[in-house]
Amino acid sequence: MNNIPVIAIDGPAASGKGTVAKGLAKALGFHYLESGALYRLVAFVAQRESIDPNDAPALAQVASALQIRFIEDQIFLSGQEVAEQLRVESIGNLASQIAAHPALRRALLERQRAFRAAPGLSCDGRDMGTVVFPDAALKVFYTARVEVRAERRLKQLKQKGLDANLADLSRDLAERDARDAARATAPLAAAADALILDASDLRVDQALDVLMRWARERQIGVTTTAPARGN
Ligand code: CDP
């Protein structure tokens, strides 16, 4: 039994779940895990080393051997900063393809659980509430309409100076959602006990208000030590 609280935010690609999971971590002083970055890191190494996306044992081996450090928004792979390189759509798509291998998912499981540390963890992905942290104190399925997600992703990529167009992005996102939802292992799905938030028409601060209210209702991040008494 682990009583360190976890907030698990799962949902489809580009729903904005990373932004709110990070926002919650900041507001509550919690640690943060972007689990998708782990799948992207494996995809990045697989691409660099020309590993066949169907070679599950080789990919699981890559996952077990990854030397990673997360420092704020930076991601170091064997000492080299790679955060920007992980963001490109080709890596996201490859991550989604290889994420279907149970052996790879198993290889990443304990690594993800190791992020659970006091005073708490806020994390986002596809299976945080269903598989990785089934005892999470708050589980949210965070979603938005596909057009809204494609617009957001386009803006994000353009800000980074990366090239993209809306039609391709919408198609890729829909394909990725279908693949993530259809796979046999840890498919994209709301946990039975998850609260569902459709953020299509919410600004980030409004979505965060809802999530903070849900966290408060569950006493998450509330210190239980009694206040010191004055004489
Ligand atoms: O940011 P975006 O939602 O586009 O993707 P991501 O969260 O970085 O994840 C990239 C891919 O990794 C997803 O399409 C999933 O297939 C996979 N993934 C997963 O299977 N399980 C997770 N917990 C996180 C990501």
The CATH number assigned to the domain holding 206 equals: 3.40.50.300
191 within domain boundaries: yes
- Specify the residue for token string 């959602």: 177
Residues 6+ apart with CB under 8 A from 173: 12, 13, 14, 146, 149, 150, 153
Centre of ligand 1 to C-alpha 213, Å, is: 26
Q: 225 CA distance to ligand 1 centroid (A)? A: 37
| Mean pLDDT calculated for residue range 37-54 | 97
Query: Which residue's entry shows tokens 């064997």?
Result: 78
Please tell me the distance from the alpha carbon of residue 231 to that of residue 224, in angstroms, as a whole number: 21
- d(CA 187, CA 192) in angstroms, rounded, equals 13
Q: Specify if 1 maps to a domain.
A: no
Give residue ranges with CB within 6 A of ligand 1. 13-14, 35-36, 39-40, 92, 95-96, 99, 125-127, 176, 180
* Total domains in the fold of the chain: 1
Largest CA distance in the chain: 69
C-alpha 181 to ligand 1 mean position (Å): 11
Q: Do the Cβ atoms of 151 and 68 come closer than 8 Å?
A: no
Tens of pLDDT, residues 172-215: 899 989 988 898 888 888 999 999 999 999 999 999 999 999 99
Q: Whose CA is nearest to atom 21 of ligand 1?
A: 126
In a domain, residue 228? The reply is no
Q: Residue 96 falls within a domain, yes or no? A: yes
| Domain-located, residue 100 | yes
Question: For residue 29, is it within any domain?
Answer: yes
Domain hosting 88: range is: 6-217
CA-based Rg of the chain, rounded to a whole angstrom?
A: 18
Asked if the structure places residue 223 within a domain, the reply is no
Q: For ligand 1, atom 17, which residue shows the shortest CA distance?
A: 96
Query: Would residue 224 count as lying in a domain?
Result: no
Q: Using one digit for the tens of pLDDT, what is the confidence trace for 103-116? A: 999 999 999 999 99
Please count the residues of the chain: 231
Q: β-strand 74-77 against 80-81: which pairing, if any?
A: antiparallel
Q: Which atom of ligand 1 is nearest to the CA of 15?
A: 3
Write down the number of H helices and E strands in the chain.
9, 8
- Please write the tens of the pLDDT for every residue from 140-167: 999 999 999 999 989 988 888 888 889 9
